């Protein structure tokens, strides 16, 4: 494959964009390919190379790069008619009504412009409503580029995970291991009356895809209720991806107080949202006293795209298709691993998947899923599911990024370059794409 154009563009970018990119994950080594355009489940780079795309914009593109006609028509109509006003529009109300009708926890919603903005606002809301400062987060979870959650360590040695965040922020954040019931109870016994909220992705999707073990999410629900804290599910990735229109909370049957959304809810345009019980969401200004505001919030183009996206999914076989192909991929990769790399693990569910270059727990493949995972056999894990962020921390990240990811790219398959970030199947993917991808896995592994 030739990459001369991408290489030249990257050279130009390096002089005017920090690291040559606008989001750090895009700076793949030795230099990223620059995308010229998308085509269904594929992207075509500046040198004309074509890749089967499983990055899918890091999650928003449920339909791949060809949105259904009603989505395209609505986007064009709203872009041409405005595109935005600084005054409310009907499409914001329609989109809010649709989400409230389908997602169990949502009665009322506030739209913002990114997942980060949603989680920042959710944390502020929880603190404002409870009058408490502390936030419990999951080790290995990710909630965007925000001060209160870019914190790592344990309950007793929490510290910022990046330069630029005062350590005093970490005084209010308590990271605990995901799926560890004992740890969450201990933290609540010690700090319960000061904890505003527990914030968790229902499935850790930024740490190699870690599923909740049976009962864990319910434990979070119970313990927060007992201590008067709020439960926030960060469904920026899982929202309208896992569990269809009911999201992961519907799939697992646990209803949080507050849900944060992003990605799919904006149909490929910048978006975020904070939903929940009316009595909570109403505490945002102007009806309440927790300040929240944004020039672009509820942007008509993003609202129209998101609304048509979800409506189309409600009326067509979208989730059946992406979930079936997701399972086909996971099972296929799992078979290849069994043969060629038994020390690695396939993770994921619905239309999410990843191969982590490590293996945890039982390696007895006949002991399928007897260790408490809520997934069934179809996840392809065969009982070796990682249970905490730490379980995948030993993964061969360098081998994944420097060798495997490159090899897959050279074979025309675009995966997320970070060992821990999920990959996504879209409605545009076909059985042939999956078969071609499995051939590439076979070769690369
Ligand atoms: N929460 C989760 C679970 C995410 O995965 C992400 C981004 N991948 C965010 C929040 C932040 O979203 P954004 O990048 O839109 O700010």
pLDDT number for residue 381:
53
Ligand 1: residue of 21, 114, 115 to mutate (most ligand atoms within 8 A of CB) is 115
Respond yes or no: is residue 234 known to be catalytic: yes
pLDDT number for residue 392:
79
Give phi and psi for 35, each to the nearest 5.
-85, 135
Q: What is the pLDDT of residues 350-375, one digit of tens each?
A: 999 999 998 875 444 444 444 444 45
pLDDT number for residue 442:
97
Are residues 360 and 426 located together in one domain of the fold? yes
Cα Dmax for the chain: 60
Residue 96 DSSP SS3: helix
Are residues 428 and 279 located together in one domain of the fold? no
Indicate the residue among 315, 334, 362 that finishes a domain: 315
Are residues 297 and 367 located together in one domain of the fold? no
What one-character-per-residue DSSP string does 43-69 give?
Answer: EEETTS-EEEESSGGGTT-TTTTS--H
Are residues 73 and 34 located together in one domain of the fold? no
What predicted TM-score, i.e. pTM, was given to this entire model?
A: 0.96
Give phi and psi for 190, each to the nearest 5.
-80, -45
342 CA distance to ligand 1 middle (Å): 31
Nearest to 355 by CA among 364, 363, 347: 347
pLDDT number for residue 128:
98
Are residues 221 and 96 located together in one domain of the fold? yes
Are residues 56 and 177 located together in one domain of the fold? no
Nearest to 264 by CA among 69, 95, 73, 433: 95
320 CA distance to ligand 1 middle (Å): 25
38 CA distance to ligand 1 middle (Å): 22
Are residues 57 and 160 located together in one domain of the fold? no
Number of folded domains that form the chain: 2
pLDDT number for residue 369:
47
pLDDT number for residue 383:
55
Structural domain that includes position 299: 69-315
Are residues 406 and 304 located together in one domain of the fold? no
Q: Which of 263, 311, 354, 409 is catalytic?
A: 263
All residue ranges of the chain with pLDDT < 70 are: 361-385
* ipTM passes above 0.95: yes
Ligand 1: residue of 21, 262, 302 to mutate (most ligand atoms within 8 A of CB) is 262
Cβ contacts of residue 64 below 8 Å, gap of 6+?
38, 40, 41, 53, 56, 426, 427, 428, 429
Nearest CA to ligand 1 atom 12: 115
Q: What is the pLDDT of residues 107-135, one digit of tens each?
A: 999 999 999 999 999 999 999 999 999 99
Are residues 263 and 212 located together in one domain of the fold? yes
pLDDT number for residue 391:
77
pLDDT number for residue 359:
82
pLDDT number for residue 390:
75
Are residues 137 and 266 located together in one domain of the fold? yes
Indicate the residue among 280, 315, 350 that finishes a domain: 315
Name the average pLDDT for the chain. 93
pLDDT number for residue 371:
41
pLDDT number for residue 358:
87
114 CA distance to ligand 1 middle (Å): 7
348 is written with which tokens? 């994921």
pLDDT number for residue 362:
46
Indicate the residue among 296, 315, 334 that finishes a domain: 315
Ligand 1: residue of 24, 119, 241 to mutate (most ligand atoms within 8 A of CB) is 119
Cβ contact 171:165 at 8 Å: no
Are residues 235 and 353 located together in one domain of the fold? no
CATH number of residue 420's parent domain: 3.90.1150.10
């Amino acid at each position: 494959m030739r990459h001369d154009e991408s290489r030249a563009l990257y050279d130009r970018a390096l002089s005017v964009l920090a690291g040559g990119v606008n989001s750090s994950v895009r700076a793949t080594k030795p230099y990223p390919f620059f995308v010229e355009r998308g085509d269904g489940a594929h992207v075509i780079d500046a040198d004309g190379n074509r890749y089967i795309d499983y990055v899918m914009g890091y999650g928003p593109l449920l339909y791949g790069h060809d949105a259904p006609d009603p989505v395209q028509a609505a986007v064009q109509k709203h872009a041409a008619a405005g595109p935005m006003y600084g005054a409310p529009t009907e499409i914001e109300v329609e989109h809010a009504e649709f989400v409230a009708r389908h997602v169990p926890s949502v009665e009322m919603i506030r739209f913002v412009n990114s997942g980060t903005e949603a989680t920042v606002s959710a944390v502020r809301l929880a603190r404002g409503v409870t009058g408490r400062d502390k936030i419990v987060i999951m080790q290995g979870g990710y909630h965007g580029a925000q001060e209160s959650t870019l914190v790592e360590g344990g309950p007793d040695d929490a510290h910022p995970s990046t330069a630029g965040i005062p350590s005093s922020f970490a005084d209010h954040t308590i990271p605990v291991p995901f799926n560890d019931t004992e740890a969450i109870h201990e933290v609540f016994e010690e700090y319960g009356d000061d904890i505003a909220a527990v914030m968790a992705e229902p499935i850790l999707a930024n740490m190699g895809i870690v599923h909740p073990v049976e009962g864990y999410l319910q434990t979070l629900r119970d313990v927060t209720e007992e201590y008067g804290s709020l439960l926030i599910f960060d469904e920026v990735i899982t929202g309208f991806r896992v569990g269809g229109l009911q999201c992961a909370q519907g799939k697992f049957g646990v209803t949080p107080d507050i849900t944060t959304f992003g990605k799919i809810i904006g149909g490929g345009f910048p978006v975020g949202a904070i939903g929940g019980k009316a009595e909570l969401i109403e505490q945002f200004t102007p009806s309440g006293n927790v300040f929240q505001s944004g020039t672009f919030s509820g942007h008509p183009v993003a609202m129209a795209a998101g609304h048509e996206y979800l409506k189309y999914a409600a009326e067509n076989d979208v989730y059946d298709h992406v979930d079936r192909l997701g399972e086909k991929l996971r099972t296929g990769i799992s078979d290849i691993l069994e043969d060629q790399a038994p020390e690695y693990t396939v993770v994921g569910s619905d239309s999410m998947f990843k191969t982590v270059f490590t293996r945890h727990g039982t390696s007895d493949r006949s002991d399928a899923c007897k260790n408490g995972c809520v997934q069934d056999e179809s996840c392809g894990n065969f009982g070796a599911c990682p249970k905490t962020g730490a379980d995948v921390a030993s993964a061969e990240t360098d081998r994944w990024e420097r060798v495997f990811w490159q090899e897959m790219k050279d074979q025309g398959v675009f995966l997320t370059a970070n060992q821990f970030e999920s990959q996504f199947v879209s409605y545009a993917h076909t059985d042939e794409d999956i078969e071609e991808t499995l051939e590439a896995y076979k070769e690369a592994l």
